[in-house]
Amino acid sequence: MQFKFENLGLLDEADIQIADLTVICGENNTGKTYATYAIYGFLRIWRQLLAEMFLKVTLNRSVAQGKYQFDLQKLFSGKVNNILESIGKKYSEILHRVFATDAEFFKNTVFVPSTTDVIEFTQKPYQRRIQNGPAGKLLATIRKEKGGNILEMLVADEELHNSFGMLNDFITDAIADIVFAPYLPSVRIASAERTGAAIFRKELDMARTRMLKALNEIDSKELKRNPFKILQQIDADYAWPVEDNVDFVRQLEDIDKQVSSLAKDHPEILDAFNGVIGGSYRVKDKRLFFQTGKKRFTMNESSSCVRALLDVGFYLRCEAKPGDLFIIDEPELNLHPKNQRAFARLVARLVNAGIKVFITTHSDYLIKEFNTLIMLNQKTEHTKSIQREYLYDDTELLDPDRIRLYMTGKNGKRGPNTLLKANIYPDRGIEVTSFDNTIEAMNEIQEKILYEGEF
């Protein structure tokens, strides 16, 4: 999946391709957050935008009563990027809501999603039963045969024929699942504000706060005439990633018993995560604790490292599945360099288990550890001996072809602010000039302090 931006906050223009591991580096106030939040917001809402586009889909009834058929090949072959571009235009109009700012700020923003992959939606079968509630009356069945391109909906409830909106929703959901979802992954974010969210998560009920605010601003008579007015008035006070992060950590006690497919298939990844935080998260009597050995601590009593990785831990244990995109804003927050290296190895395990990872970082330790994992992936006799000596597992090695790293900066001295794609070499790793220049400057200063006075 690729995204093209123009006039996105501090970024004049940029192109970014989402890989199995995507990294954005750069100095403060250079556009990392703008790119990250914009991509997150799009992946969060694309299904709703697609549904709006398909409100006027014609439901052509076939000869058989209650049967609707759609030729996906005719509808979408060669048109997917055009549809994505149209969705991107709609998204640009609401981008200010993602950042909880004024619409004027993004009035000139261009946001264009696209895919370079060949869209292949005929191979996999698809079937979905739509019921009135989990065990209620069957309303309709939607299916597509393996190797076929005809999507068929059989309506079981006669009254449903008169509900165009519901039929359209059923078909749109199926089209989204079959045609677009393979290229637009489910997304979860751990924002940079997560440490505070872990402490104040019970006090931060953002949905309730917005509801109360809307109720106070709407005239009571108007609310009685039009109760849906409250839904129109509710808007975000915080950027979507922040709100979603808070909403997620407020539910941790409720989702504690869920076991993700990642946890089932790769329990060693959870062990590796627990190794980073030095313990594990526990819920007992609807209360959340951090446990290390026989000691147990509340979040207020726990270290900043434990709080900073709280939502990461619960996502991995309760929700993560192959194909997801997991965005981690500054994973190095509150981590000692040793644990930053361990977290880089954890990221590599996630990538190799099928989770796409997107991170922004200021950490040279993180990048250098990625470089080690890339170089060890050469699997020569020499690198294998080093791998054995330093106890690196095969699941921690990184294929450079699966990585994209971008640095914020200018394209030329007077060029636009953009994202510059870094070179990645199998034998040397990633070139990150912004880190290298800073380290070289520090070394030069220290060498002068140490040695120049002696001559």
Distance, CA of 56 to CA of 176 (rounded, Å): 16
Mean pLDDT of the chain, nearest integer: 87
For residue 239, is pLDDT > 50? Answer: yes
Residue 418: is it exposed, middle or buried by C-beta count within 10 angstroms (0-12/13-18/19+)? buried
pLDDT of residue 226: 45
The per-residue pLDDT for range 118-137, each reduced to its tens digit, is 777 777 899 998 887 666 78
Q: Taking 60 as the threshold, does the pLDDT of residue 296 lie above it? A: yes
Q: Is the pLDDT of residue 202 over 70?
A: no
Give the integer Cα–Cα distance in Å for 384 and 376. Answer: 7
Region 356-367: mean pLDDT is 96
For residue 89, give both structure tokens. 């235009």
pLDDT of residue 231: 42
Quote the pLDDT of residue 452.
Answer: 76
- The pLDDT score that the predictor gives to residue 453 is 66
φ, ψ for residue 236 (rounded to 5)? -75, 140
Is the pLDDT at 225 greater than 50, yes or no? Answer: no
Q: Identify the weakest region by mean pLDDT among 100-104, 273-277, 324-328, 412-416.
A: 412-416
Mean pLDDT of 405-431: 92
Mean pLDDT of all residues in 296-310: 91
Q: What is the reported pLDDT for 196? A: 66
Instruction: Please name the helix (run of DSSP H) or strand (run of DSSP E) that holds residue 326, with its range, or none.
Output: strand 325-329
For residue 436, is pLDDT > 90? no
Q: pLDDT at position 162, please?
A: 67
Secondary structure element (H or E) that encloses residue 329, with its range: strand 325-329
What pLDDT does residue 61 have? 47
Give tens-digit pLDDT for 334-351. Answer: 999 999 999 999 999 999
Q: Per-residue pLDDT tens for 87-120?
A: 999 999 999 999 999 999 999 999 999 998 777 7
Spatial distance between the Cα atoms of 248 and 311, rounded to a whole number of angstroms: 7
Q: Which residues pair with 151 in a beta bridge?
A: 70
CA distance 109 to 98: 13
> Which long-range CB contacts under 8 A does 428-433 form with residues at least 24 apart?
428/371, 428/375, 429/367, 429/368, 429/370, 429/371, 429/372, 429/374, 429/375, 429/400, 430/23, 430/367, 430/370, 430/371, 430/374, 430/403, 430/405, 432/25, 432/364, 432/367, 432/405, 432/407, 433/407
- When pLDDT is cut at 50, 70 and 90, the band that residue 223 belongs to is very low
What pLDDT is recorded for position 286? 85
Model confidence band, residue 251 (pLDDT cutoffs 50, 70, 90): confident
Of 17-31, 64-78, 141-155, the one with minimum mean pLDDT is 64-78
Q: Which pLDDT does position 232 carry in this prediction?
A: 44
Tell me which of 136-140, 151-155, 254-258, 314-318 is least confident. Answer: 136-140
pLDDT band for position 170 (cuts 50, 70, 90)? confident
Residue found under tokens 């360099």: 337
Q: Which of 54-68, 222-236, 327-341 is modeled with the greatest confidence?
A: 327-341
pLDDT at 387 over 50: yes
Beta-bridge mates of residue 67: 154
**Of 17, 31, 41, residue with least CA distance to 418:** 31
Give residue 297's region: left, alpha or beta (phi > 0; psi -120 to 50): beta
pLDDT of residue 161: 65
- Candidates 112, 143, 80, 81; CA nearest to 16 is 112
User: What is the reported pTM?
Assistant: 0.88
Please tell me the predicted confidence (pLDDT) of residue 437: 81
pLDDT score at 200:
58
pLDDT tens per residue, range 62-81: 445 678 888 888 888 888 99
> Using 50, 70 and 90 to split pLDDT, how confident is the model at 203?
low
Grade residue 276 by pLDDT with cuts at 50, 70 and 90.
very high
